[in-house]
Structure 1
Amino acid sequence: MPPSPHHRPAPDRRSFLRISAGVATLLPLTALAGCSGGGRDPDTLRIAFQQFGSGTLMEQWIQRTATEYSKEFPERTIELVPIVAAENDYFTKNELLMSSPRTSPDLVYEDTFILMSDVGAGYLQPIDDFVKDWEHWEDVAEASREAVTAPDGHVYAVPTHTDTRGIWFHKGVFADAGLPEDWAPTTWEEILEAARTIKESAGEDVAPMFIFSGMPQGEKASMQGFEMLLYGTEDRLYDDEAQKWVVGSQGFIDSLSFLRTVFEEDLTLSIGQCLDPNIGESIYSSLLPEGRLGLIIDGSWISQNWTEGAPSPWPEWEETMGVVEMPTQDGGGEGTTTLAGGWSWTIPQYATDPEASGSFIEYLLTTENSVQRAIDDNHITVRADVAEVEEYQTYSATAAFFTGLLESAHYRPAYAEYPEISSAIQEAMETVMTMSASPEDAAAAYDRAVIDIAGQENVQEAGS
């Protein structure tokens, strides 16, 4: 959950890149601080983004854009603010920067999950005038436009891309277990049955399945794990019509019960591995390529770990891995479900020149630039103009599959309370997976937490 704006940790050391006329140089933090405050140059755009370790794809995207941008605006300088941090730490450090005119970036790369929390804290400004005139706003999928629109009706971000989720399965592990290569589960029970079959045939060296669970996994547990289950029931986290958070739902209990079964029957990795915040790296770099994991509920992006030039290239992944849609609990409703998320560009409240920030967004998100970005980072586009480009349609063996899921995808209720409620979901999952509480007791504790977070007047019983 985001920290209180009244109590924030001091920033750690990080580097800042300056790009002027498309050329990048490295500036120390002290140099940035020295030109801060009232003397800030309105022709300097600071751009904050999350850098994943030594990865440079974001930096390359912004540098490529800056080169074109400088042709029209040679007087403007672009300063990159790469923040190397885990997901929750990135949010905290971004908020720290945005909280002061002295340190605020002019553009911030935001997960839509945290967007409304930052809006509620006053860190961001609405960008209605920008999107009204931007030529690609109507190309953005309606659900994605809604995800960046606050309850007050104002738009606070421009979506860059999205992601969808399904089940990835290892065809070799399935074949060894006698499971079909065209496996397509229609209920939760069929997922469990496949995992049980793998356990019986493969022995201890192969984990049948994996679902992100518990507090160390952060939002991955809530979204890739729990919500992929809950949204396959008749219940939801939030009632959009009543505009209230839902408690007392059977779907919540049933989702936790599925999780309990996975751990009670030893159908997954050990508790210690599941609670390791870095387990994803092991899964993508070794467990899946080495055939030591049968299936995983995960996102559209994970094959980026296996492409040429990635830390763990795996050329055979296209022939080895299968993808199928996540079924609903009993096959009812639409039969399958998925969650969509994504990232966006936002303009902080203390941006020195919002119009300049908006002009750089336009350059970042041209059709050509967006196609290249999707290919480089294995993204699912939210834009109709990008989806029509053949190069996008064919860049990955799974691009068409995951793009096709977007039309019926669910989005998280990314209101200001959601980050705290997400933490409560993770806690409920962890108490169930560690056998510290029954699904019913964990759900009851979650309900109490939601009432404390949102207030009794903003909560309703399921079915009421």
Structure 2
Amino acid sequence: MPNPARPPDRRTFLRYVGGAATVLPLAALTSCGTSAVDDPDVIRIAFQQFGSGTLMEQWINRTAASYTKTYPERTIDLLPIVASENDYFTKNELLMSSPRTSPDCVYEDTFILLSDVGAGYIRPIDELVAGWADWEQIAEASREAVTGEDGKVYAVPTHTDTRALWFDKDVLTAAGLPEDWQPTDWNGILDAARTIKQATPDVTPFFLFSGKAQGEKASMQGFEMLLYGTPSRLYDEDTRRWVIGSQGFLDALTFLRTVFEEELTLPVSRHLDPNIGETIYTQLMPEGKIGILLDGSWISQNWTEGAPNPWPEWEATMGLARMPTQDGGGDGFVTLAGGWCWTLPQYVTDPEIAFSFIEALCTRDNLVQRAIEDNHITVRADVAEVEEYRTYSPTAEFFTGLLETAYYRPTLPAYPEVSSAIQEAMESVMTMSRTPEQAAAAYDTAVTGIVGAENVEKEGS
């Protein structure tokens, strides 16, 4: 039988039956005739495996082991998709596009959710969450992030995150910068990077994710952390139009051009590597080869005792600074918040059975453990009350404190395409194929084509 979708990179699925794990070949789950896809008691779970990390798999494994003891007639099949961010979204959508390959539960970034809803991949779950006592424990803003324009709920949020500047105290000290470094504007970041370059030429002064290979990391951790530090925005909530002709957009690209022109970051070739993040976390940062990194609240998961390459010295070595606005105006600092969620595909075999496993994944105790393992910021009031959560990491209080003034990406079906246009603009600037002005103009044209001329407005008009 021809396979209607590219399979995940791994060729086997981990199956839990009655609390015991066995490994089955991919063909056993997608063969013709009676298969796991047709059986309502087989719950197929699709998720992204980030590089060599196994924390997602551990979370699902321990839940599956206890769940199948309660429901011995049910089986949990794990579908770990080892892929870069953009490839993961594509492979997930290919799997969800056919009833012959569709998983029953899918782990999604909230930024892609409404696009997948618009494409018909995801089903609403209003009736299911209405009967789940823990739904009201989720913060209202997080519930809104998984609610479509039709007012229906499409997912269960699991956690959120914030972003800031990580820096190596030893590197900054060697460059004559303070150990409690805190820039007050963009020039403060650039000046620190220049100082590091001059004092320690074997260290990369500054890194932010940029370009198409980095996917949403480039848009959110990189570009939007700059843009939202200006008066400009991607989308006008009042007029419900996408903004073009944005001065802040141009200024963010100009900052990016400066970073690459002055060689304050890794070479362009390294930025074009979709796996550069793992190299930074597991090699360059532990080796003291990165001065400043603009990144998320979760990255210290790479250095904990259970990680593939533990780095116990990170707590003493790494410092944190809030990301400043362009000129110190506004609130003075900026962060973007996001998060992931569990969804039910349109072709889920049995929604109630599949949702029961999401409930098991999202018990309070399970989410406390998950937050501690993966350095998450909870969206749940009951989890936030647990002392173990509040004290699990030396960075937890810092990153949780950023949420109060966090910005969120436009939760609209067009956003993923807009995000791709942002990545294209970044890449054309960092490779010097376009000036910031040319890249901004190309972005305006792309966005107008994506959403239609009637759904854009020129900034200030």
Q: Same fold (TM over 0.5)?
A: yes
1:136 partner SS = helix
Alignment-mate amino acid for residue 251 of structure 2:
D
CA distance in 1, matches of 2:371, 2:450: 37
Counterpart pick for 2:178 among 168, 180, 191: 180
The equivalences for 1:64-83 within 5 A come to: 64-83=62-81
Q: Say if 1:105 and 1:348, in contact at 8 Å, map to a contact too.
A: yes
Match 1:97 to one of 95, 98, 118: 95
* CA displacement, residues 27-58 of structure 1 (integer Å, 9 cap, x when unaligned): 11221123557982222211111123443322
Aligned partners of 2:187, 2:334: CA distance in 1, in Å? 15
Residue 327 of structure 2 is aligned to residue 336 of structure 1 = no
- Counterparts of 1:373 and 1:282 in 2: how far apart (Å)? 24
Residue 148 of structure 1 corresponds to which residue in structure 2? 146
How is 1:75-224 mapped onto 2 (pairs within 5 angstroms)?
Answer: 75-202=73-200, 204-224=201-221
Provide runs of 4+ in structure 1 moved above 4 Å.
35-39
| Equivalent residue number for residue 6 of structure 2 | 10
**Does the 8 A contact of 2:44 with 2:77 survive in 1?**
yes
1:366 counterpart residue number: 363
For residue 153 of structure 1, what is the amino acid of its counterpart?
G
How many percent identity over aligned positions? 70
Alignment equivalent of 1:461, drawn from 440, 458, 461: 458
Shift of 1:266: 1.8
Distance of 2:208 and 2:55 partners within structure 1:
28
Contact 1:98 1:348 in 2 (8 A): yes
Shift of 1:72: 3.4
Question: Is 1:37–1:103's contact at 8 Å kept on the other side of the alignment?
Answer: no
The residue number in structure 2 matching 1:421 is 418
Secondary structure class of the residue paired with 1:405: helix
Q: Which among 42, 47, 50 is matched to residue 48 of structure 2?
A: 50
- 8 A Cα contact 1:21 1:74, kept in partner: yes
Q: Quick one: which amino acid aligns to residue 108 of structure 1? A: V
1:390 matched to 2:420? The reply is no
8 Å CA contact 1:53, 1:84 repeated in 2: yes
Offset at residue 344 of structure 1 (A):
0.5
1:358 CA displacement: 1.5
1:59-100 CA distances to partner (integer Å, 9 max, x unpaired)? 221221123323432322222222222211111111111111
Q: Is the Cα contact below 8 Å between 2:158 and 2:342 reproduced in 1?
A: yes
For the residue of structure 2 that corresponds to 1:18, the secondary structure is strand
Q: Distance in 2 between matches of 1:18 and 1:264?
A: 51
Give 1:169's aligned amino acid: F
Pairs within 5 Å for 1:29-40: 29-34=26-31, 40=38
Query: Match of 1:10, as an amino acid?
Result: R
Q: Deviations over 1:114-156 (max 9, x none)?
A: 1111101101111111222322222222221121111111110
> Counterpart of 2:353?
356
Q: Assess, with a 3 A threshold, how the Cα gap between structure 1 residues 77 and 151 changes in structure 2: closer, same or farther.
A: same
- Counterpart of 1:239 in structure 2 is 236
Amino acid at match of 1:73: Y
* Number of matched pairs: 456
2:158–2:379 contact (8 Å) kept in structure 1:
yes
Partner Cα distance (2:35, 2:308) in 1: 40
Aligned to 1:442: 439
Q: Which residue of 1 aligns with 2:312?
A: 315
Cα distance in structure 1, aligned partners of 2:168 and 2:302: 15
Indicate how the Cα distance of structure 1 residues 251 and 353 shifts in structure 2: closer, same or farther if over 3 A, else same. same
Partner-residue secondary structure (3-state), 1:272: helix
Alpha-carbon offset, residue 12 of structure 1: 5.2
The 2-side partners of 1:112 and 1:118 are apart by 10
How many Å separate the matches in 2 of 1:250 and 1:446?
Answer: 13
Instruction: After TM superposition, give the deviation of residue 110 of structure 1 in Å.
Output: 0.8
Matched letter for residue 304 of structure 1: Q
8 Å contact kept, 2:166–2:319: yes
Please tell me whether the aligned partners of residues 451 and 459 of structure 1 are also in contact (alpha carbons under 8 angstroms): yes
Question: Is 1:227 paired with 2:224?
Answer: yes
SS in 2 for 1:277: coil
Q: Which runs of 5+ in 2 are unaligned?
A: none
Instruction: Name the amino acid aligned to 2:129.
Output: V
Structure 2 residue aligned with 1:290, among 281, 287, 290? 287
The amino acid of 2:366's aligned partner reads N
Instruction: Report the Cα offset of residue 9 of structure 1.
Output: 5.7
Q: Distance in 1 between matches of 2:428 and 2:83?
A: 27
TM-score, normalised on structure 2? 0.95
CA distance in 1, matches of 2:37, 2:432: 57
In structure 2, what is the Cα distance between the partners aligned to 1:53 and 1:192? 31
Partner Cα distance (2:28, 2:291) in 1: 50
- The DSSP-based 3-state class of the residue aligned with 1:226 is helix
Matching residue of 2:429: 432
Residue of structure 2 aligned with 1:404, choices 401, 411, 414: 401
Letter in 2 for 1:287: L
1:138-182 deviation per Cα after TM superposition (whole angstroms, max 9, x unaligned): 222222112111111111000111211000011011111111111
For residue 4 of structure 1, what is the aligned residue in structure 2? Answer: none
C-alpha deviation, 1:285, in angstroms: 2.2
The answer to whether the Cα contact below 8 Å between 1:36 and 1:102 also exists between their aligned partners in 2 is no
Amino acid corresponding to residue 309 of structure 1 in structure 2: G
